[in-house]
Chains A and B, each alone.
Chain A
Amino acid sequence: MELKQGFRLGNWEVRPLTGEMSGADGIAHLEPKVMEVLAALAQRPGEVVEREELLRRVWGTRAAVADEPLTRCIAELRRVLGDSRQTPVFIQTIPKRGYRLLCPVTPLAASTTFVPAPAPSEERSVPAAAAAPAASGHRRQGHPAMVGTGLAAALVLAGVALWAMTRGTAESGSVEPIERNTIAVLPFTDVGGSPDNAYFGEGLADEILSRLSAVEGLHVVARTSSFAVRASADDVRSIAQRLAVAHVLEGTVRRDGERVRIDVQLIDATRGYRLWSARYDGVIGDIFALQDEIANTIVAKLRDTVPTELPTTPIVTSVPTTNLDAYQLLLQGRRYLNQRDEDSLRRSILLFQEALELDPSYGQAYVELAKAYALLPTYSAEIQDEMFDLALATLAAGVEQDAALDDSMQVVLALVASARWDWIGAEIAFRRALEHNRNDSNLLVWYSQFLSAVGRPAAAADYARRARELDLLSPVANHRLSVASMWIDADDDAARYAQIAEELGMGRTPDAYIVLEFRQRNYAAVRPLLIGVQTMFGKATAWVDPLLAALASPEHRPQAIEALARAEQARDVPPKYLFGSWLYLGETERAVDAGLRLVNDRPSFNVEFLFSREARALRQHPRFGELVRAIGLNSYWDRFGWPEMCRESGDTISCG
């Protein structure tokens, strides 16, 4: 439809040619790219417009290596429209795909109204609501929508300067140079198979990706990102640009009974030609040897084209199982494991268990099962120690079957040790895991988290950056970089990556969210969360408003202290909020006491927070050493070196 002259969107009149939107509250001026994004969405109201398509339409083939410009445009649109990601009235995020305009669009020059296609499974897509107050910028008080919009608004406002600096990169086409030793492995398409068999093509690509990741000198994009872009209809060159790689491996797999045919091609996306292609015919029993062969051929082909020296030692992996049904169950399980939500993790556990029933000597299945157990408490209310005990018992059983598991199980050992505050054990396990998985973005994320907890925020940020470089489209990697940036006081980056993580489908993590909002002095945005949680859980809320008032204006501090003390007496404040609230109020002695009590609940104690700027007074408190010793960090520092900010003098530990 012709929208150039303008269109009506809810209560707004949008005029693309002048870059203006007029609504009940006046006129808003949009940046050209923001308007272009809106116009692109308005062309197809009610339909999902893929991120790749938006990037291509608005930025052309010069799209930035990642999605930040688009993400910021969407955030800006939501800010102007008074919309939110959580409960959208105008723009709905379709995780891992794109965006959908929810309300009708009417060209100003015509009388036709284009009503979005019905979305019966999405109750929130209520076109009528678009004409409600939200269209004039009003937001419902206290709704998560407000939280989300508040966050978006804060991020956009705080990030305007940064955006102004970075958007030039995307618009001028001066993208960062792409290293030659980079490659993305896309999931192989299962030709002729049912969609239920997609796991096989993914698994095959994942195995090759894993082999290539172990090659020194090669930079391999992590699976989350490379598998995410595959869902798009983009050509290989665009995919390579988005992932910032010079090479792309893609392929198909066809299975006919026991027979397997694999077609692969390695594309030099920078130079625009196919570097190599091949067809492999074999039986399913050859699959592991085929994976090695393909990986070795790729390394050989790349050796001729990349400036870095790649090793000549051939990749040889041992056959992990002789039971191919067990292997396929493992592939299915991994697919669920990578989805990282409670239901998917539980499904993966069942599949790994089934694989082990078929082949009790299948070492990788033990490791994957242990990993699923170790991750489940993060995504559910399962009791952490129970799940960790199961994970460790599973690893022990696995080692009995396959002594070679020792290397691959280190990542699970590191996760468990870190969560149990066995800092020394965790460091050792992480280092061993990193020796074998230097390109594993998940491992880098977890190590970054660990380093933040042991008082090494700069190193933590470095590892978080590396994780994101490997996995640009991973919500987890972006979220981690957000948090790690926060601990080095790079607040703009923290806000920016938090926004990207959210747009990529990451659920909000309340603790990080609160700290970030407080840093933006956006206290009102946090209120619904605190009030909501307290009320829903039957706890008094009388301390919340005084606390927020005191943070905004220090003269309210005495009232806040009194209210919080009363609530503490009545056990009306969750222990970790109590600890944080005393810190924010400058009641350091009380914070030490609350912290020492909170030590008894490790899963709730965000040790990283101890090294934030908010906790500076706590670190300088004479009793800080009690906390450090209760957490066990002093032993770790004795072994691996004390952080620059900390020193021990007799019984006193003080950190700057």
Chain B
Amino acid sequence: MLLLATLATAAPGAAAQTFAGNEIVAGTAAELATAIATRRVELEADHESIAMLVDTLILPRFDMRRGSRAILAEHWDSASAADRDRFVTAFYEYLVATYGDLLLYFKPETLRVLPFDGDPARSPARVHTIITLNDGTEVDVDFVMIERDGDWRVADIEAEGVSYVRTYRSQFRVDIAADGLGSVIEWLERKAASVPAPGTR
């Protein structure tokens, strides 16, 4: 899912050849670019089809449950199994809703995957990229990849040195302290349901 955040506003570029993670990031961007270009009308008309696209293309690259645990931190440990499941689903839906229609602005222009500078056999490893936002702003983005059972997945994204996981962890810590985990989950669910239809914002 973290990939979604970046791919919503970027496109594929040259990939380094030395690390599987680089190829995954660049390859996913390329697949997304093709999907957007060939299915734009369908995606604009149907929010569900964007969700499907995310499910098939993006989600496999992200460990949603592990990411949710990292974000909820100590609140994950104290949450019931049912609340954990509900949070994972709600957060996923929230992200799809938040980013989903932004995918429509995805252009095959600028996601530059920079050469890998780490040890490709070690997990976690970082894929360095430069992302160009729709307004031309360029952002230094690192994908932190972890390997599990031979698959590399995105565990975190750092934009301009700021961690996605830490940012959401901070947000939810503050919100949970104020209103409780249940309230945060409900807020995510409400937010997901209230996002404008695709292509309308």
Give residues in A with beta carbon < 8 Å to B.
86-87, 121-124, 140-145, 147, 342-343, 346-347, 380-381, 383, 385-386, 507-510, 527-529, 531-533, 535-538, 571, 574-576, 597-598, 600-601, 603-604
A123 touches B119 (CB 8 A): no
Q: How far is the CA of A601 from the CA of B168 in the complex (A)?
A: 11
Q: How far is the CA of A80 from the CA of B166 in the complex (A)?
A: 37
Which of A381, A386, A536, A604 makes the CB contact (< 8 A) with B6? Answer: A536
Given contacts A143-B130, A381-B165, A537-B159, A86 and B187 within 8 Å (CB-CB): no
B162 touches A510 (CB 8 A): yes
Which of B114, B131, B170, B171 makes the CB contact (< 8 A) with A536? Answer: B131
A381 touches B70 (CB 8 A): yes
In B166-186, which residues have CB < 8 Å from any A CB?
Answer: 166-171, 173-178
Given contacts A342-B124, A343-B119, A574 and B144 within 8 Å (CB-CB): no
Q: How far is the CA of A312 from the CA of B159 in the complex (A)?
A: 55
Considering the complex, give the chain A residue whose CB is closest to the CB of B141: A536
Residues of A contacting B89 with CB < 8 Å?
A: none
Given contacts A121-B115, A598-B174, A536 and B187 within 8 Å (CB-CB): no
A87 touches B130 (CB 8 A): yes
Q: List 16 A-B contacts (CB under 8 A).
A: A121-B115, A143-B137, A343-B119, A381-B165, A386-B73, A507-B161, A532-B133, A533-B160, A535-B133, A536-B139, A538-B5, A574-B167, A574-B170, A574-B171, A576-B170, A603-B166
Interface size for chain B: under 10, 10 to 19, 20 to 34, or 35 or more residues? 35 or more
Give the top 10 A-B pairs by smallest Cβ distance, nearest first. Answer: A142-B137, A532-B139, A143-B138, A600-B177, A536-B159, A538-B98, A381-B165, A601-B173, A604-B170, A144-B140
A600 touches B130 (CB 8 A): no
Given contacts A528-B137, A538-B99, A533 and B122 within 8 Å (CB-CB): no
Q: How far is the CA of A147 from the CA of B171 in the complex (A)?
A: 26
B135 touches A142 (CB 8 A): yes
A381 touches B133 (CB 8 A): no
Considering the complex, give the chain B residue whose CB is closest to the CB of A146: B138
Whether B14 is near chain A, meaning CB under 8 Å from some CB there, is yes
Question: Count of A-B contacts with CB under 8 A?
Answer: 134
Given contacts A343-B118, A343-B122, A385 and B170 within 8 Å (CB-CB): no
Considering the complex, give the chain A residue whose CB is closest to the CB of B159: A536
B160 touches A144 (CB 8 A): yes
Which of B70, B156, B174 makes the CB contact (< 8 A) with A601? Answer: B174
A600 touches B174 (CB 8 A): yes
A383 touches B167 (CB 8 A): no
Given contacts A87-B130, A597-B177, A123 and B115 within 8 Å (CB-CB): yes
Considering the complex, give the chain A residue whose CB is closest to the CB of B99: A538
CB B73 to nearest CB in A, in angstroms, measures: 5
B5 touches A537 (CB 8 A): yes
Considering the complex, give the chain B residue whose CB is closest to the CB of A594: B174
Most buried by A among B133, B162, B178: B162
Residues of A contacting B164 with CB < 8 Å?
A: 536-537
Considering the complex, give the chain B residue whose CB is closest to the CB of A509: B161
CB A211 to nearest CB in B, in angstroms, measures: 33
Residues of A contacting B162 with CB < 8 Å?
A: 510, 529, 533
B161 touches A383 (CB 8 A): no
Residues of B contacting A533 with CB < 8 Å?
A: 159-160, 162, 167
Q: How far is the CA of A527 from the CA of B139 in the complex (A)?
A: 11
CB A355 to nearest CB in B, in angstroms, measures: 19
B141 touches A603 (CB 8 A): no
Most buried by B among A124, A532, A575: A532
Whether B16 is near chain A, meaning CB under 8 Å from some CB there, is yes
Residues of A contacting B159 with CB < 8 Å?
A: 532-533, 536-537
What string of 1s and 0s marks CB contacts (under 8 Å) between B64-100 and chain A? 0000001001100000000000000000000100110
Given contacts A142-B133, A531-B133, A123 and B114 within 8 Å (CB-CB): yes
A123 touches B112 (CB 8 A): yes
Given contacts A507-B161, A538-B95, A575 and B174 within 8 Å (CB-CB): yes
B138 touches A140 (CB 8 A): yes
Residues of A contacting B118 with CB < 8 Å?
A: 343
Given contacts A383-B73, A537-B5, A528 and B138 within 8 Å (CB-CB): yes
